[in-house]
Amino acid sequence: AQSVTQLDSHVSVSEGTPVLLRCNYSSSYSPSLFWYVQHPNKGLQLLLKYTSAATLVKGINGFEAEFKKSETSFHLTKPSAHMSDAAEYFCVVSVLSGGTSYGKLTFGQGTILTVHP
């Protein structure tokens, strides 16, 4: 079974300060991991993905994440928050077995990021 835990349901930062959104995963096999962002009343947009290549993954809008197998973590970071970053963020794991995806996605429960002026 696969699972994803986002350790904070809400994170609040000031504009210009660093952002850290934490995600731990559980998987019996090598996972693919993703971060998605959802702005209010919008669909989900892919921020970045890890698929067994480089462990430090760079995404859009200055976000990056590091895959740490020993810690089963995939935390999302950004050096300097912008007001436009205020949204809900989802960590997602894709089920893999024997190198073939079974197509099941497991979402974390989401972290709401608030950015203060």
Partner 1 sequence: EAQVTQNPRYLITVTGKKLTVTCSQNMNHEYMSWYRQDPGLGLRQIYYSMNVEVTDKGDVPEGYKVSRKEKRNFPLILESPSPNQTSLYFCASSLQDGSYGYTFGSGTRLTVV
Cα Rg of the chain, angstroms: 14
Report which of 17, 110, 4 is spatially closest to residue 50, judged by C-alpha positions. Answer: 4
Least distance CB 106 / partner 1 (angstroms):
8
Per DSSP bridges, beta strands 10-14 and 111-116 are parallel
**Residue count at the site for partner 1 (CB under 8 A)?**
23
Q: Using CB under 8 A, which residues numbered 1 to 20 contact partner 1?
A: none
Least distance CB 16 / partner 1 (angstroms):
29
How far is C-alpha 70 from the geometric centre of its chain's CA atoms?
Answer: 17
How far is C-alpha 5 from the geometric centre of its chain's CA atoms?
Answer: 10
**Binder to partner 1 among 25, 34, 67, 74 (CB under 8 A)?**
34
Looking at beta carbons only, is 28 or 101 nearer to partner 1? 101
Q: Could you say whether residue 46 binds partner 1 (CB under 8 A)?
A: yes
In degrees rounded to 5, what are phi and psi of residue 43?
-80, -170
Interacting residue ranges for partner 1, rule: CB under 8 A: 32, 34, 36, 42-46, 49, 51, 90, 94, 100-110
